[in-house]
Amino acid sequence: MVMNSIDDHDSGHLSRNQAMLLHYAAIIESTQDAIISKTLGGIITSWNPAAERIFGYAAAEIIGRSIMLLIPSDRRNEEYEILGRIANGQLIEPRETVRVRKDGGLIDVNLTISPIRDPSGVIIGASKIARDITDEKRLRLSLGEALTRFKATMDSMVEGCQIVGYDLKVLYSNDAVGRLLGRSPNVYFGMTIREVYSELRGADLAEAVEVCIRDRINFKIQVSRGDDAGKLVRMDVSVEPVPDGALILWIAPRGNM
């Protein structure tokens, strides 16, 4: 009876382990990220469907071959470094790098690498999660180029431009804002409109902006400030609501007195 009881317990424990393994296997099979394992010598030992989709190799044609098939020739030292650090038990930080597909095309990937240990705790290999970020990186590059063009265009303007968030804090100021208000435009980032324009003469611009952002209406107002030479710098400020609760302030000089 005692033996039967132990056998029943072991059988149930095995079933739970099997269910857990099947659960993890299903995750690996269905994930959109390539999950690859390799020996410390760089020989591929496992390859999930996402790896096949991303790199173009079927599991049957790549398992047992060198991971160097995926490494561009000018990045081989990078892989040797990874394998060496894994073997020494060192932590590998996630990194962005470049890998090569079966067809020879290069792809940008984000790598997360972890050691594989045997039951006694000895490191025998590494698992690698590779996420294809080619489109994401291309988008980041495009956005960066667009932002550069936007900044160049805005900084060449005579009129000042400020973009203000729904919380009335400045998100962006072009170079002309600095010239008109007498301070570096970078100073204004994160400041509230009331902090930026508290010393201006004329109508209460901060109050008008608060009304604008609440009621979503355009308005134009005249303000002025004294410069370091004692001259009066007069400005027309136009405020336009834009989507997502933000505002754009256009500041145009009206001549000195």
- Mean pLDDT, each 10-residue run in order, the chain (257 residues): 39 53 51 89 92 94 95 93 91 92 95 90 92 87 84 86 87 88 86 82 76 83 77 84 79 66
Spatial neighbors of 147 by CB under 8 A, at least 6 apart, are: none
pLDDT computed for residue 37 by the predictor? 92
Q: Regarding the domain delimited by 2-134, which CATH topology (the fold level of the hierarchy) does it fall under?
A: Beta-Lactamase (3.30.450)
Cβ neighbours, 10 Å, residue 40: 15
Are 25 and 32 contacting, i.e. CB atoms less than 8 angstroms apart?
Answer: no
**What does the alpha-carbon distance between residue 110 and residue 128 come to, in Å, rounded to a whole number?**
10
Strand partners, 192: 169
DSSP code per residue over the chain: -HHHHHHHHHHHHHHHHHHHHHHHHHHHHH-SSEEEEEETT-BEEEE-HHHHHHH---HHHHTTSBGGGGS-GGGHHHHHHHHHHHHTT-----EEEEEE-TTS-EEEEEEEEEEEE-TTS-EEEEEEEEEE-HHHHHHHHHHHHHHHHHHHHHHT-SSEEEEE-TTSBEEEE-HHHHHHHTS-GGGGTT-BHHHHHTT-EES-HHHHHHHHHHHT--EEEEEEEE-TTS-EEEEEEEEEE-GGG-EEEEEEEEEE-
Q: Which pLDDT value is given to residue 9? A: 44
Alpha-carbon separation of residue 241 from 157, 217, 244 (angstroms): 20, 7, 9
CATH code linked to domain 157-256: 3.30.450.20
Ramachandran bin of 23, using left for φ above 0, alpha for ψ from -120 to 50, beta for the remaining angles:
alpha
The residues facing 234 across adjacent strands are 224
Residue 16 Cα distances to 9, 20, 22, 184, 238, angstroms: 11, 6, 10, 65, 68
| pTM summary value | 0.56
Q: How is residue 86 written in tokens? A: 């894994």
**Where are the domains positioned within the chain?**
2-134, 157-256
State the first-to-last Cα distance of the chain, in angstroms, to the nearest integer.
Answer: 106
Please give the pLDDT value at position 3. 35
Q: Are 41 and 126 in contact, with CB atoms under 8 Å apart? A: no
**Is it true that 2-134 and 157-256 share their CATH fold?**
yes
